[in-house]
Chains A and B, each alone.
Chain A
Amino acid sequence: MENRLRFFNPQVIISMLLMVLSLYAYAQEKMVISGTVLDDTGEPIPGVSIIAKGTNLGTTTDFEGLYRLEIPAATQTLVFSFVGFVTQEINIGSQTRIDVKMQMDIAELAEVVVIGYGSIEKKDVTGAMTTVTPKDFNKGVMTNPTELLQGRVSGVNITPSSGEPGAAVSVNIRGANSIRSSNQPLYVIDGVPLSGGNTTEGGSGTGDTGGSQAKNPLNFLNPDDIASIDILKDASATAIYGSRGANGVVIITTKRGKSGQGNVSYSTYVSASQVRKKMDVLSAIDWRKARIGLYQETGNDGYLDFDFGATTDWQDEIFRTAITQNHSLSFSGGSEKGNYRASIGYLNQDGIVETSNLNRYTARLNLSQKLLNDKLSMSMNLTATNTKDRTPPIGDGGGHLGDALVNAIRANPTMPVKTDDGEYFQFATSDRNPVAMINLMDDRSTTDRYLGNVTGDLEIVKGLHLNFNYGLDRSTSTRNANYSNRLVYITPDGQAEVRDLYTHSDLMEVYLKYNTSVGAHSFDVLGGYAYQYFERRGKGITALGYTNNLLLYTNSLGARVSDVPVGLYSWGDISELQSYFGRVNYSYDNKYLATFTLRADGSSKFGPNNRYGIFPSAAVSWRLSEEDFLKSNTTVSNLKFRLGFGKTGNQEIPNYAYFPQYQAVSYDLNGETLLSIRTARTSNPNLQWETSVQYNAGLDFGFFNDRVEGTMDYFYKTTSNLLYNTPTGGVAFTTNFWQNLDTEIINNGIELAVTGHLMTTKNFDWSTTVIFTKIDNKVKGFEYAAIQTGRLNGPGMTNVYIQVIEDGAGLHAFNLRQFEGYDSEGYSIYANEGQLSLTGSPYPDFTLGLSNSITYRGFDLDFFLDSKVGQDVYNNTANSLINKPALAQAKNISYDELYAQRSIEDGEVPSTKYLEDASFLRVSNVTLGYNFPVTGIDWISSAKIYVTGQNLYVMTNYTGYDPEVNTNKAVGDIPSFGIDYSSYPRPRTILVGMNLNF
């Protein structure tokens, strides 16, 4: 009976009929279809099933994603299917080659995320972390990995110091946790934690232009080589990096070859950038009129002077349309036994200020091989980069004379750039010609950096693996700065500076991993040892007295005429870190997950009394959606609750801070050299780790088959034992000494990221992601006099500090006079007789990001809006430059100031007048791409062209160049935040690019 039924099953009958038919067809006419199946990143997919629709005829792709299928000529449609991907039906038509690109099926995707010393499936994560892959990276001109993430990750505040190519970037994960300079996260690249220090020297600020920060040390990584960036945010995730995890951990994983077909990939772009906005200062004609107006008002004919007759827009003179080109070429491939990927990259990025440039060559080689019957797998990652920067004389501050940008804003617009005889017009040492400054100063750095590591994984018995990782990181850098003899303010004669920096770190790690399952219990255990060695050395020369007009004095340092001794320095320091770490991941029945970590770190930075710090963490999570009561629920597809606790540390202080240090010092007295000894540091053998304790509660959710998915976290983080170079008060051999303060910095906040897959049809796909972050920050129990920071610059602003760190306030609160307008005579009025009071914060109330990704047939459109709300920026530029009294001194001012009811004698006092709401909404990134249909071309597997606009539009009331700005106004080692002074503007960029895969 059953057999009969089976026999008469319509499906069976139909199949048999089809078989007959196809045999018939085969007998009559056959055709061969072949092609490649790739995933959406262009990588081949082996094992994809291909069936001629309506037949049983089919095949699967090989390791290179290739297939070949013989089918009856009458077949009209092929069906491509593979686990984890959306099934596709392709109309054959007259094609004989059909290449298919499979789209991942988001509902089934088992994402793997990288955690320290391993990786796990995303569903098993217990801590708070975010993974960003290339499809979510910011597009456009990207000089380093931090730019890829700006605005994209909740809880991560990325603020570039300026718009200069490769400029330093401030990255705060879950708020600023320290009163010192080191609020930056730990970067781990393919398993090698970086030392975190700069790899180039900053600018020295010769000629009162203000020093400048060193460039971003991550500039050495080619963004095209990055496969994913994992950001570990809460302490339960970062505690495996113990001592260095307090500010979060950013794990960068580079691309590797995949087994299967070899791939050659070439990508390129060309971009044009311009300044998005100019300061609205008077034109030469209006400036002349305004000066005549002053003469008419006062009868003082002196106001008719200083008209040099020219018409110069100094901002136009120093800004340019900057062209950037980028090329990346890679080839990769592999077998079941191993893989390789090699890439080279070239970036030549002009800055929008004349002469500024970043030129970079990168090379990378990643290899893996399995040996000993697959028991041992070895990998190697190696990258080498050469970066050349040329920096214009735009610094962080400088005195009243100012840098090139300061002078471009305020220079008298009737001055000519050059005189009739072709020399730069330099009216006085105090009225500088910014074009002369830029062209007669040559400041270049060359940095070579090598980062490499070799890892091995040996399976000793099933489930037990021995791992090792040996890494090294070397960089050498030289900065050559030349200040021409022809600049009138460079006296006496031309000057040259050479500054070398060498950094070196070694890493050695050995660890054992064991995983096993007993019934529904599964364990993943890790234990190991790590040693890191850090060395930094520097040396430099300052020489003056160059009388020739050849600008590159550093090429012939000896050719000088001066009695002034050459300035020389050299320094070096070494530190070591030794750690023992362990972790247990436990899961029961895929529902209940727990992670425990413990790391003991010993650092040479601390004295014998407290050299080791113990950093534990624990986290649990519960996958509610795996419970029976939710498993069959069609609304809730994923629901996971996470709870975590952990303690992490911070040791970013100078080496040997615990150690009494003596220095040999020398004094020149009337040409005689005297030798002496100085105590350079007071010892504190009890110095210990700054520690952060963080609690985290999180929820991961997915609804409607993960059509709406997201993550929500709340954290509460307390940093205590703050390391602070405390001032001494009485007589003491050193003015400061390092100690741990009994003070707490508390950061708490909410992070939210929600993604909606609004449309997922065959031809039209639209997903959108919203991220939201809100962080509060407070200093508690600080029993010392308020720490002053945020040093302003400009005329009448010597030693003026406007930010304080004090008990009960948020970090970097502004401390200012309250501006109340002008009196009847045009003088500023301040509340409470000009008493200073705490007002405003440089940190946003909340940040929002909105990204959209739309695919329609071959087209894709990405756009990203970025917004920060409620932060204040102090506009030091407006305060010290663009003000009415400057007009009387024959300097330029803005139209707003010209029309203000303000006296030209009114003092330039720092006040809330210049504390501006820097809330903004930025159209930060828009990319439109088109994927060419390449089916039928057998030598190419994908081709895409795209257009990207960066920083297209900013909605803000902030009057400076850009509301996202952070000029370094640190006082000593206490950083400032949210002050804008002559900051290199962030450009608007249009870019055309192409990606090809072969």
Chain B
Amino acid sequence: MKTKIVQRISSVVLMVIIVGCTDLSPELVSETTGDELLNDARARILNDITEAEGIIQPAYDGLYQFLGERNIYALTEGSTDEMVTPTRGTDWGDNGIWLALHQHKWTPDHFIVQNGWDDLRTGSARAYEAIDLLEKIAGDDQALLFELEPFIAEARFLRAYYSWHFIDLFGQTPVLDENLEEDLLQRGQAVEFVINELEEIVPILPDASSSTYGKVNRQTAQALLAKVYLNKHIYEDREVENSDLDKVIGFCDEVITSGNFQLASDYFAMFDQHNESSTETLLVLQNSGDFQRGFQAQTRALMTLHYYMNAGGVLEPWNGMCSTEDFFNKWDADKNLTNGVATSDSRFTDDRYFPTLALNLGFITGQQYKVNGDPLTDRKGNPLIITAEIESITQAKEYEGARVLKWAPDTDAAYQSWADNDIALLRYADVVLMKAEAMWRKGNSGGAMSILNNLRSVRGAANLTEVSAQTILDERGFELYWEGYRRTDLVRFGQFTQGTWFGKEVSAETYNLYSIPSVALSAFRKLKQNPGY
């Protein structure tokens, strides 16, 4: 009897357990499977092919990583003579990252080196992902795939752009293989990969005249090809060859003769809040002061201005980055520059915003003012007189260092850190300068000089009377300062490690490449640390 009861109850228990059993696959709440999303995207694209723009937008979004002051931008400018971030009392110590960067003493653990690496691999991954998504969406549909080719080509350009930065900054270039598994290209292989990619997509990409503002076009790819060829000998660790230079001149000419671009008549208008109509934009990251898209664009103003240079209380600047005195003095060896005098070069300074914001554009030194015209004082109550000279890189005064305000602050933005200024990453003037440099390198100084003087006259600067490596490098500085080109240029002219400027001695050749971050080395074992680190 008892046994029966036990049996019965046990079977009830067993039933409860079996019925209660779950396969442990609960419902997905805010997540979805890839297939659902792909099917949805395919339907939208079949209905309207421009929906593919959305799919590749994440790859464009990677370009925003070129904006922040602690990201790739710092790797391209902060280690050069154009930009220094001295420690100012309690400010900008940041555990020594700025000094290490400027003095070429970074280590594999350096925060910005790590950041830059991560930003590039994220951008590259977004490009790979966009290509993969479009290919999956097309599937076996060859007609659709053909229609999607231009969009895929945009993503391939962006992948090449991120990869070129790997080549330029780090040498080793991480990629994905055909199975989308992590792989690595050595510097030379990566150059080949990037050139092949770019040359393949040039015919697929639309001419700039028929492409939308902000999108990659044929000339964008040609400009990048010129850039890669101009630096190819550095990447391959050899002397420059005429074949490279011919390629540079050829691609530059393609851009120049396309007729889509011309040197801007108003230099600072190219960096203004509403600069969509710039005639020099080849590759751009678009910002908006009304939407989150513009997030951080004001950084370019905030990072340099003194705390109290706040455009009438709109900004909360950080008093950080400034020019070295060496670079500042290149504009005029007499050192008698104050705001807006002693040089006719329109690139040096501009006072269009002074009446409203009490801020000059370009290089800023001297007494600073409030919007109401009263002189400003610093945090200690001294008159705020910005000096180009910085006495000590480790103990700088808050007023030391010439400020560089290239991108006018957007005082209409919804947040003070947002701004409408679009930021050009490849600019037509660079193409012109690359052509001049290639000609000079081939021995055609006259041709180079006429290009340079044409540029200088547009900018209101006096004509050059001779062309040398130094004048070409300097001209690139005058034209492109703080736009993220400087390190590459200094390396190409052999001055990055060998040159000295405020706060920086001659450094070892090792520093021509950044170190591979420790975290990446330990996570991706194919990587090897660059020699010397």
Q: How far is the CA of A662 from the CA of B38 in the complex (A)?
A: 10
Chain A positions 875 through 898: 1 when the CB is less than 8 Å from some CB of chain B, otherwise 0: 000001001011011100000000
Give complex CA distance A537, B44 in Å.
Answer: 30
Contact residue among A531, A537, A729, A795 (Cβ-Cβ distance under 8 Å from B522): A729
Q: A430 CA to B416 CA in the complex, in Å?
A: 14
* Least CB distance, B96 to chain A, in whole angstroms: 7
Cα A430 to Cα B118 with chains together (Å) = 32
Within 8 A of B (CB), among A662-680: 662-671, 674-680
| A641-684 interface bits toward B, Cβ cutoff 8 Å, 1 = contact, 0 = none | 00000000000000010011111111111110011111110000
Q: Which chain B residues numbered 316 to 336 have a C-beta less than 8 Å away from chain A?
A: 316
Pick the interface stretch among B250-258, B360-368, B374-382, B447-455: B374-382
The residue from B2, B32, B37, B526 contacting A730, defined by CB atoms under 8 A apart: B526
A155 to B355, CA, bound (A): 68
- What chain B residues lie within 8 Å of A580 (beta carbons)? 17
Q: Are B121 and A571 in contact (CB under 8 A)?
A: no
B57 touches A669 (CB 8 A): yes
Q: Tell which of B19-27, B231-239, B261-269 binds the partner.
A: B19-27
Q: Tell me which residues across on chain A come within 8 A of B21, comparing CB atoms.
A: 578
Cβ-based interface call for B46 (8 A): no
* Interface stretch (choices A84-92, A108-116, A183-191, A778-786): A778-786
Q: How far is the CA of A369 from the CA of B121 in the complex (A)?
A: 65
Whether A784 touches B522, Cβ cut-off 8 Å, given contacts A302-B380, A676-B54, is yes
Q: Does B49 contact A (CB under 8 A)?
A: no
Asked if B73 CB lies within 8 Å of chain A CBs, one says no
Known interface pairs A573-B30, A675-B44, A729-B523. Does A460 touch B95 (Cβ–Cβ under 8 Å)? no
Residue of B nearest to A908 (CB): B90
Which of B203-211, B425-433, B491-499, B513-521 sits within the interface? B513-521
Indicate if A630 sits at the interface (CB-CB under 8 A): no
Q: Which chain A positions have C-beta within 8 A of B93? A: 796-797, 907-909
Q: Does A727 contact B (CB under 8 A)?
A: yes
Closest CB in chain A relative to B362 CB, distance in Å: 26
Q: Which listed residue (B180, B395, B522, B526) contacts A785, Cβ 8 A?
A: B522
User: Binary interface profile of A, 444-481, with partner B (CB < 8 Å = 1, else 0)?
Assistant: 00000000000000101100101000000000000000
Contact between A537 and B29, CB atoms less than 8 A apart: yes
Contact A508 B20 (CB under 8 A): yes
Q: Which of A603, A677, A796, A909 contacts B24 (CB 8 A)?
A: A603
Q: Which residue of A611, A674, A888 contacts B89 across the interface (Cβ within 8 Å)?
A: A888
The answer to whether A796 and B87 have CB atoms under 8 Å apart is yes
The answer to whether A578 and B41 touch across the interface, beta carbons within 8 angstroms, is no
Residues of A within 8 A of B94 (CB): 796-800
Question: Quick one: closest A residue to B20, CB to CB?
Answer: A531
Among B2, B26, B176, B517, the residue within 8 A (CB) of A731 is: B176
Query: A662 contacts which chain B residues (CB < 8 A)?
Result: 31-34, 37
Partner of B9, one of A460, A667, A906: A460
B460 at the A interface (CB under 8 A)? no
Q: Does B509 contact A (CB under 8 A)?
A: no
- Please judge, given known A-B contacts A460-B5, A670-B288, whether A466 and B394 are in contact too, CB under 8 Å: no
Residue A309, interface by CB 8 Å: no
Q: Given the known inter-chain contacts A574-B29, A728-B523, please indicate yes or no for A512 contacting B58, CB distance below 8 A.
A: no
B473 within 8 A of A: no
Q: Are B33 and A304 in contact (CB under 8 A)?
A: no
When distances are taken between beta carbons in the complex, the residues of chain A under 8 Å from B240 are none
Please, how many angstroms separate the alpha-carbon atoms of A877 and B349 in the complex?
42
Report the separation of the CA atoms of residues A574 and B31 in the bound assembly, to the nearest whole angstrom. Answer: 11
By beta carbon, the residue of chain A nearest B123 is A731
Across the interface, A677 reaches (CB within 8 A) one of B31, B38, B214, B286, namely B38
The distance in angstroms between the C-alpha atoms of A302 and B214, with both chains bound, is 49
| Smallest CB separation, A741 vs chain B (Å) | 11
Binary contact readout A898-909 vs B (1 if CB under 8 angstroms, 0 otherwise): 000000111111
A777 to chain B, nearest CB (A): 22
A910 close to chain B: CB less than 8 A:
yes
Closest Cβ–Cβ distance, residue B136 to chain A (whole Å): 10
CA gap between A577 and B21 in the complex, in Å: 10
**A578, A729, A783: the one within 8 Å of B524 (CB):** A729
Q: How far is the CA of A464 from the CA of B214 in the complex (A)?
A: 77
Residues of chain A contacted by B346 (CB below 8 angstroms): none
A537 to B521, CA, bound (A): 38
Interface residue A821 (Cβ < 8 Å from any Cβ of B):
no
Stretch of A64-72, A561-569, A955-963 at the chain-chain interface: A561-569
Contact A799 B70 (CB under 8 A): yes
Partner of B174, one of A679, A730, A800: A730
Contact status B377-A571, CB under 8 Å:
no
A24 adjacent to chain B (CB < 8 Å):
no
Cβ contacts B373-400/A at 8 Å (1 or 0 each):
0000111111000000000001101000
B339 to chain A, nearest CB (A): 22
Q: Which of B41, B54, B129, B381 contacts A301, CB < 8 Å?
A: B381
CB distance from A643 to the nearest CB of B (A): 33
> Could you tell me the distance in whole angstroms from the C-beta of A784 to the nearest C-beta in chain B?
4
CB distance from B142 to the nearest CB of A (A): 22
Best-surrounded residue of B40, B93, B95 (most CB of chain A within 10 A): B95
A674 to B44, CA, bound (A): 12
B:1-55 near A, CB below 8 Å: 2, 5-6, 9-10, 13, 16-17, 20-22, 24-34, 37-38, 40-41, 44, 51, 53-55
The answer to the question of A834 belonging to the interface, with a C-beta cut-off of 8 Å to chain B, is: yes
Given A461-B5, A575-B26, A905-B89, residue A889 in contact with residue B379 (CB < 8 A): yes
Give the chain A neighbours of B10 by CB distance below 8 A: 512
Chain B residues positioned under 8 Å from A798 (CB to CB): 70, 94
Confirm or deny: A576 has a beta carbon within 8 angstroms of a beta carbon on chain B: yes
Asked if A785 and B519 make an inter-chain contact with CB atoms under 8 angstroms apart, the answer reads yes
Q: How far is the CA of A729 from the CA of B114 in the complex (A)?
A: 10
> Once the chains bind, are A730 and B121 in contact (CB under 8 Å)?
yes
User: How distant is A894 from chain B, measured CB to nearest CB, in Å?
Assistant: 15
B125 at the interface (CB under 8 A from A): yes
A495 to chain B, nearest CB (A): 11
Answer whether residue A60 sits at the interface, using C-beta atoms and an 8 A cutoff.
no
A932 to B105, CA, bound (A): 75
Known: A733-B125, A907-B93. A667 touches B520 (CB 8 A): no
Say whether A529 faces chain B, with CB atoms less than 8 Å apart: yes
Q: Is B26 a contact of A910 with CB atoms below 8 Å?
A: no
In the complex, residue of chain B having the shortest beta-carbon distance to the beta carbon of A306:
B381
| A300 with B9: CB separation less than 8 A | no
Pairwise interchain contact B32-A668, C-beta atoms closer than 8 A: no
Q: Contacts A564-B290, A669-B57, A909-B95 hold; do A675 and B382 have CB atoms under 8 A apart?
A: no
Across the interface, name the chain B residue whose C-beta is closest to A573.
Answer: B29
Kindly supply a per-residue 1/0 record for chain A positions 787-822, scoring 1 wherever the CB is within 8 Å of any chain B CB and 0 otherwise.
Answer: 000000011111110000000000000000000000
Query: A729's contact among B5, B17, B95, B174, by CB below 8 Å, is which?
Result: B174
A660-B129 contact given A604-B26, A668-B291, CB 8 Å threshold: no
- Least CB distance from B404 to A in Å reads 20
Residue of A nearest to B518 (CB): A785
- Tell yes or no: B485 within 8 A of A by CB: no
Cβ distance B151 to chain A, nearest Cβ, rounded Å: 12
Proximity bits, B47-84, A CB within 8 Å = 1, else 0: 00001011111100100000000100000000000000
8 A-B pairs with CB atoms under 8 Å apart are: A529-B16, A529-B20, A661-B31, A676-B55, A730-B182, A730-B527, A784-B519, A827-B395
Known: A728-B523, A732-B125. 11 other contacts (CB 8 A): A305-B381, A460-B9, A461-B6, A656-B31, A667-B54, A671-B291, A678-B58, A730-B527, A731-B125, A799-B97, A888-B89
Give B residues with C-beta under 8 Å from A: 2, 5-6, 9-10, 13, 16-17, 20-22, 24-34, 37-38, 40-41, 44, 51, 53-58, 61, 70, 87, 89-97, 109, 111, 118, 121-122, 124-126, 128-130, 133, 174-176, 180, 182-184, 214, 286, 288, 290-293, 307, 313, 316, 377-382, 394-395, 397, 414-416, 517-524, 526-527
6 smallest CB-CB distances across A and B, nearest first, come from A302-B381, A729-B524, A730-B174, A572-B29, A729-B523, A305-B381
